[in-house]
Amino acid sequence: MSTAPPPPPGYEPPPGGYGGPPAGGWDLGAALSYTWAKFQDNMGQLVLATIGVWVAVAIVGIASTGLLVALADAGTPWLLRSLLQAALYGAVFVVAQLIAAALIRGSLSITEGRDFFAVDAFKFAQVGPVLVTALLVGAATAVGYVFCVLPGIAIAFLTMYSLYFVVDEDLPPVEAITASFNLVKDNLGNALLWWLVGGLIAVAGFVLCFVGALVTIPFVLIGTAYTYKVLTRQPVAD
């Protein structure tokens, strides 16, 4: 007789084509194979989204630099320029985090069997929790880097799924960070392996004249979403 607990209230069985988490748990080979298959299924839209994000960031960066140079040439007081520069950096941070959350949301949707569209990279939601979580993680990581770098790396590693918990489970910032810490701690070997392999794949894309990053960045995003789903014992689409 089955001893499985009943599903939580409001839970419905996954739609057709949905598989449960891999029986053997997370495996690097399976993760890479799954990620490549899903990347191929959504390649055009993923590459288009990556290009769109790069163009948006480039436009904001060029416009901000041009504005600051123009103000300096016009003799604008240093304090005012510094305040404006801080505001511009803050705006860039906000946009970057919202885009990151949108890409995470899109990557999770791929693991749930839905198609990804380039416009999804610019659909912002859960703005407050996303920004607060990013600020807390960023501040903690920055403080960690001040203390001999290694603590900063450790914090970045332990909190790497924070935004995933915000986006996927709608957790408040502190709870999302705590959930990420516990998930990584409880799956240390697999989490570390994907973090290292995913990081190397992403870097390899930038080494190849940045063109390779059009493939490696979305690839790593899907792989991280898959890893998150499997480690949290959630089903993934076939």
Q: Quick check: 25 and 227 in contact, CB under 8 A?
A: no
pLDDT score, position 89:
86
pLDDT score, position 16:
45
Kindly state the helix (H) or strand (E) to which residue 19 belongs, with its residue range.
strand 18-19
What global pTM score does this model have? 0.85
- Cβ atoms < 10 Å from Cβ of 223: 26
Q: Quick check: 201 and 219 in contact, CB under 8 A?
A: yes
CA dist 118 and 100 (Å) reads: 13
Per-residue pLDDT reduced to its tens digit, 104-137: 999 999 999 999 999 999 999 999 999 999 999 9
pLDDT score, position 11:
36
User: Domain locations in the chain?
Assistant: 25-110+123-229
3-state secondary structure at position 237? strand
pLDDT score, position 19:
59
Residues of the chain with pLDDT under 50: 1-16
pLDDT score, position 23:
61
pLDDT score, position 191:
98
pLDDT score, position 128:
96
Alpha carbon distances (Å) from 43 to 6, 39, 103, 109, 218: 38, 5, 14, 15, 9
